Amino acid sequence: MALTTLDPRTALVVIDLQAGIVGAPTVPYPGSEVVARTVELADAFRARDLPVVLVRVSFAADFGDVPPGRTDTPAAGGSRPEGWDVIVPELAGHPGDIHVTKHNWGAFHGTDLDVQLRRRGVTQIVLTGIATSIGVESTARAAHEHGYHVTLATDAMSDLDADAHANSVARIFPRLGETGTTAEILQLLAKTHG
């Protein structure tokens, strides 16, 4: 589906572009490309006074706040290096940005993201980040369920697994919103927001 519009109050929501994640080997794009494209989007949103939300995942030192459910694949335990959960410097340092810390895959559950968006009259979000099939997809699903229009910047996200990324982009995202490239979103933003 082609991109159709961006609502007057659209927010950019950036998932987990933080020190301990962007350096992981991801496909189809390296973390550095995901960051660069997200920076382009963030700059364009900020220039139009549209909200930019920087979401990071973090856990207590003892991992006491990790979701406790049983899974076939245990959560990665052990210690994290100092600063692993810090937003990358290319995106940090903008005082008007909204910061959300999550302890789950998705950015809505257990956070104030929905409140932050609704207070600002946001009706649509554009999503970027790592990993496509985990944090981005979980957030897209919840955004859709919360009644937001969802746009997914498919070249500003990447995954640890090529098949998982492809499945999200081809099969899941078209059911949750509209997909497009960074360039297409920037073009639409310029057209609809001057």
Residue 168 DSSP symbol: I
Looking at residue 137, its amino acid is E
Structure confidence by residue, pLDDT tens digits, 121-176: 999 999 999 999 999 999 999 999 999 999 999 999 999 999 999 999 999 999 99
Residue 53 lies in a domain: yes
- In terms of residue numbers, what domain contains 158? 10-59+85-193
Nearest-CA neighbor of 57 among 21, 93, 97? 21
Residue 185 lies in a domain: yes
Sign of CA dihedral 17, 191, 137, 124: positive
pTM: 0.93
**Domain total for the chain?**
1
Residue 146 lies in a domain: yes
Structure confidence by residue, pLDDT tens digits, 42-61: 999 999 999 999 999 986 55
The end-to-end CA distance of the chain, in Å, is 23
Residue 71 lies in a domain: no
Residue 69 lies in a domain: no
Residue 65 lies in a domain: no
Residue 54 lies in a domain: yes
Strand partners, 13: 53, 127
Write down the pLDDT at residue 190.
Answer: 96
Q: What is the DSSP string of 92-159?
A: ---TT-EEEEESSSSSSTTSSHHHHHHHTT--EEEEEEE-IIIIIHHHHHHHHHTT-EEEEEEEEEEB
For position 134, which CATH number holds? 3.40.50.850
Residue 131 lies in a domain: yes
Distance (Å, whole) CA 106 – CA 113: 10
